Structure 1
Amino acid sequence: MSKPEFEFFSVSDVEFTVCPGDNPLITERILSKDPTTGVATRILRYAPGADSTPMGVQRHDFWEEVYILEGSFVDLTLGEKFTAGQYACRPPGMPHGPWRSDEGVLTFEVRYPAGKEQEK
């Protein structure tokens, strides 16, 4: 992985931008990103009322770890609500979502390549 080197900085200096899918209620702060693989560390924010149903069930070709910092959201496929303080570790290909958040949610996420890609 070739993420840039950073010493401590205030994440509030990084602007939220609309995530892929173009829903203005679903935004992210990219804290660090490998431009070659696209894997990243980010803060994801669902504003109250955000719903990712149009994006469908998600599957990635990378590992994804998610920690819910604030609020909650519902995995609409599972019909299960997840709240602040909960954590997920998803291997490549694991289906998840779509999501809806009535109150809003803020997560911290780390994504990294699978298998041999990680050795590059």
Structure 2
Amino acid sequence: MSFLQQEFCDRPAHPPIGGAPVSLAEATAASPTGQPQQWCTIGPGIWELFLNGIATSDNKAVLQWYEPNTTSVDPHAIITHTYIKEVYFVQGGLADVTIGRGWGLGSYAYRLPGMKHGPYKASPEG
């Protein structure tokens, strides 16, 4: 798999709160690389900016942004993955509803394949 060199010094601006949804297909359609180059919606009030890897696979690097007070797709659904997931918070925070614990600015989390987590609720800052 080839990776693209992509760098930025400032955090990319997130979409406006309540912005019109943008599908992965829409974000990819206008891209000369065949990879999305704008924020996509992955659930109501949840956005993802593709950074590198393969956008349609689990092998990718992304930024996610939850609009303020957004709860992940199903507020009762436990989440698991078949891949390792690493999370670093650069703004606001999330609370894991199931375990009753939250993380904020500067926090780091590591999830092994199959580890149960979520659902999440975003902080008032997003």
Scaled by the length of structure 2, what TM-score is found?
0.69
| Structure-2 residue corresponding to 1:12 | 12
In 2, Cα distance between equivalents of 1:66 and 1:75: 13
Aligned-residue offset at 1:3: 4.2
In 1, Cα distance between equivalents of 2:55 and 2:64: 19
| Structure-2 residue corresponding to 1:101 | 122
Q: What letter corresponds to residue 26 of structure 1 in structure 2?
A: I
Aligned-residue offset at 1:68: 0.6
How many residue pairs get aligned? The number is: 101
- Whether the 8 Å contact between 1:45 and 1:104 is mirrored in structure 2 is no
Unaligned 5+ runs, structure 1 = 106-120
Q: What letter corresponds to residue 99 of structure 1 in structure 2?
A: Y
Q: What letter corresponds to residue 44 of structure 1 in structure 2?
A: Q
Identical counterparts, % of pairs: 26
- Whether the 8 Å contact between 2:92 and 2:123 is mirrored in structure 1 is no
More strand by share: 1
Summarize the alignment of residues 1-120 of structure 1 with structure 2, pairs less than 5 Å apart: 2-8=1-7, 12=12, 14-19=37-42, 22-23=43-44, 25-34=45-54, 37-52=57-72, 54=74, 56-105=77-126
Measured at CA, do residues 73 and 63 of structure 1 come closer, stay the same or move farther in structure 2, by a change above 3 Å? same
Q: What letter corresponds to residue 84 of structure 2 in structure 1?
A: W
Stretches of 4+ moved more than 3 A in 1? 9-14, 35-38
In 1, Cα distance between equivalents of 2:49 and 2:65: 8
Measured at CA, do residues 78 and 36 of structure 1 come closer, stay the same or move farther in structure 2, by a change above 3 Å? closer
